[in-house]
Every structure is written in C-alpha cells, then in structure tokens.
Amino acid sequence: MPRIAPILLLLVCFTTLAKGNNNAKPPLNVIVVLVDDLGWMDLSVQGSDFYKTPHIDRLAATGARFTDGYAACAVCSPTRAALMTGRHPHRLGITDWIRAEFQLGGRQGPNSDKPGYHDAGLNYLTPINNSFLPHKELTVAELVKSKGYATCFIGKWHLGGKGYLPTDQGFDENFGGWDYGQPPSYFDPYTNKRLSEGIPTLKPREKGEYLTDREADEAVGFIKRNQDKPFFLYLSHYTVHTPIQAKQSITEKYIPLKDGKGQDNATYASMLESLDDSMGRLLKTLDEHELTSNTVIIFTGDNGGLDRNDNPTDNAPLKIGKGYATEGGIRVPWIIRWPGVTKAGTTIDTPITSVDLFPTIASITGTRIPSGVQIDGQNLTGVIQGTSTLDRSLYWHFPHYRHRGGADPYSIIRNGDWKLIYYYDPMKIELYNLADDIGEQHNLVEDKPEITARLLRSLKEHLEETGAKKPIAKAG
C-alpha cells in the first residue's frame, strides 16, 4: 500500500518525459564536403560559364553562399588541421603541406629529435613543419562523438600517417584517409608506378572505378547505415587535385566547348562534373530517407585553385592561385545549408575562414567545447541567421619557400576591406582595398601609411600571441 503512490509517481514522470522526448527535435546531422584545390570560380554558381555544377548550385539555392569565404592556408594540410581543431595553423605548427616521405618514423616523425629550422640554401631559415596532427588536439570528430554521433571520414586526410589517421582522431570509419597529398590514380586500384600499393585504407573494389564515384558510394552507405542516429560525415574529396584524370565519357562532351580562353580544360571540367554528381547523390539520399530537414551541409575548399602545371583552371578575377598570398590562393567557395536557419538563396559577405567550422559545428550539434580548449574560430550561427556580425581580423602565416618569385615566406592580415601582405624575402609590403580591387592590382601602401602601420602592428601582435614561428634571416 505505501509503495503504490511512489510507483504511480514514477510512471507519471516517465510518461511525461517520454512525451517530451517525442516532441523534441531530433539532433542535427552534419555533413562537411571539402574539395581539394577547388578554385573560387570553379562552380557555375560562382560565375563559371564552362563548368557545369547543377547539384552544387541547388545546394547554394537552398542555403547560403559566402562571397568572402577563405581557407586557413593557401596549401592543404594547414587548412585541414584548422578545420579539424578550430585553431590557426601557425598555432598548431602545421604551416605547410605534410610530406609523406617524412612520415612513419622519419626525421619529422613523432619520436624524432627534429630541428626547429631548415636551411634550404636561400636567404632565410624556415621553420620545420609538423608532420602530423598531435593527439593532444581536440578534433571536431572527437567533440561530436562525445555527444553520441556516429562519425565517418572519406577521402583525403593528409594530417599524418599510421597512428595519426582519422580513426586515431575521433572517426569511427575511414575510407581512403592516408598521408597522401594526392591519389596515385583516380581509377581503381588507385596505383601508379611509384605507389603500387594504391591507397592502403581504400581496398580496390572494381577495376577502373572512378575514385570520386567510390567516395560518393561510401558516403551514401554511411548515411544509410546511420539514418536512425545522429551522424557526422566528413567527405574530403581527393578531387580536383592532380593528377588531372577523369572519365572519358564525360570529358568528351566538354571538348567542343573549349574556346582557348580561361577555363577550358575538358578533363578538369569532367572532374568537376563527377564532384557535382557526388553532391547530387548525397542530396538525393537525404531526400529519400527524409533526412534533409535535419541535416546541415557545409561545402568548401582547402585552398585556391591550381594555376600551374598547364593551368587546369583559371581563378580570374582573383590573382594567381594555390600557394600564393593573393586572393586566388586563399579565397574559396563556401556554402552552408542549415534547414530552418539559412535563408534559401542568400549571399553573405562576412569574411569567414576554416577555423570557424569547429565552433559552428559545436553550435549545430549542441555540444559544449571544454573550457580548457582554446579556439581561434568564431561560431557562425548569428551570421547565418542575420542576427549578428563579426568584428575581427583574419590572419594567415606561411613561413616557407614555394614557387620562387611569388610565394616566398609571407604573413597576411585582412581587416574589413583592407588586406595587407608582408613578404619576408625580399621584405616587401602590399596593401589592397578588396572592395575596390579584388584582383589586387593597385598597391596602396604608400598612399595609406596610417592603415599600413595599424595593420602591421596588429599582424605582429597576432603572430606573437599565437607563437608563430617566423623565418630567420641567415647571418652575413
């Protein structure tokens, strides 16, 4: 008799909680699509007349497109590290792309006594680049996994080899993530003369199968397997990085469209169409399994488009491309579709960068970032909703030599419409107003001494605060 009331009370409480849970919105799924070497003008929604990307255009039409979106670096590994951690590459010590030959216990391996600087026989000593993302760093995959999310990585990793692969950094599954900066081949078994083992974490399946199609297959399979639970999918396409290889059946239709001007590489256009087909399959899968309304998609690139090696693409009106301090090297497409939050077809001109992805995903998933974790990025939720703006500067730091004559060591600050580039060797300063001169043709450093001094001061303070390693002039 005395126990009946408490039992009834527990039943009432349980029923009430169950009703409350039934009415609660399901957790949001998150899909990040990162494209390797994707130029700012490489999509039809970005203004290309040659490339055809209707599915990515549809994503933009149903979401928000950022006109001033950036990668955290002009080359790949630093951007990928920033995306995973929300921290500046120069704070992490990953400021250049990671070279596979130094992995697996090489002189830059985790247990090696690596020197702090490298002498390339040029005027400055340059910092040694970390060859892996340290385990001490909290990754976005580890963050959402603590909230019960299923996690999957597909494609290009380039943040370390054995012991530092996606499954060592918070991902439940890994298809294709290795220490390669590019695929040996885009066709199964994904081998070439130098790399006969192919991609060790992607088993050959069907000879001749195109890699971008295989990545899409794995992504669709992961979504279907986890449709009844919250999931985080990081689809990091190897495309459109070299080697420039595509399915001949698609390439042929672009050959008659070539006009010898700007974007006219039929094989590259075919690679982009396969990328777009992959996006189409993702969108179709979400629609078919009624997941569209609770899945956020974030689409971007890891650096600017390649303007060398026979110029597979053209970044105009942006200047130059991958590796360089110019807009062509760091400005990339950014599209976010957050059902119920993004206004369909909107464009946002707030400057954003790769470090913002981590805190934004934390907001999307309702996951608290531990108090001891230092994050450089900003939560974009208010910007996406149109309820707030970001009053800050953006920074880049590349203390290495690359492409002699244009991409020597440099640091960059963007504040408002003003962009300042500081070159170390030879020492040179450039200042541009991007609102008036997106092509960076008119250096205003002599016309605007006060702005130049202010930005230089802010850049110096930032590099000191983040512990960025700078090039060191050689004695004599």
418 in helix, strand or coil?
strand
| 47: Cβ contacts below 8 Å, ≥ 6 apart | 41
Note the pLDDT tens digit of each residue in 290-349. Answer: 999 999 999 999 999 998 656 799 999 999 999 999 999 999 999 999 999 999 999 999
For residues 175 and 179, the model is more confident at: 175
- Domains for the chain: give ranges and CATH numbers: 27-392 (3.40.720.10)
Average pLDDT in the 105-133 region? 73
What does the radius of gyration of the chain's CA atoms come to, in whole angstroms?
Answer: 23
Average pLDDT, the chain: 91
Residues 210 and 167: beta-carbon distance below 8 Å: no
* pTM (predicted TM-score): 0.93
Supply the pLDDT for residue 8: 35
Note the pLDDT tens digit of each residue in 409-433. Answer: 999 999 999 999 999 999 999 999 9
pLDDT at 48 over 90: yes
Residue listed under structure tokens 């369909």: 344
Note the pLDDT tens digit of each residue in 228-282. Answer: 999 999 999 999 999 999 999 999 999 999 877 789 999 999 999 999 999 999 9
What are the φ and ψ backbone dihedral angles of 422, each rounded to 5 degrees? -110, 115
User: What is the pLDDT confidence band of residue 23, given thresholds at 50, 70 and 90?
Assistant: low
130: tokens are 């970390």
Supply the pLDDT for residue 406: 57
176 in helix, strand or coil?
coil
Note the pLDDT tens digit of each residue in 377-391. Answer: 999 999 999 999 999
For residues 113 and 414, the model is more confident at: 414
Output the CA–CA distances (angstroms, integers) from residue 85 to 137, 288, 337, 365, in the order listed: 7, 32, 21, 16
**Amino acid of residue 292:** T
Comparing 113-127, 166-180, 198-212, 413-427, which segment has the lowest mean pLDDT?
113-127
Residues 381 and 341: beta-carbon distance below 8 Å: yes
Cis, peptide link before residue 426, omega less than 30° from 0: yes
Which pairs from 424-429 meet CB under 8 Å and 24+ separation? 424/124, 424/399, 424/470, 424/471, 425/122, 425/123, 425/124, 425/401, 425/471, 426/123, 429/456
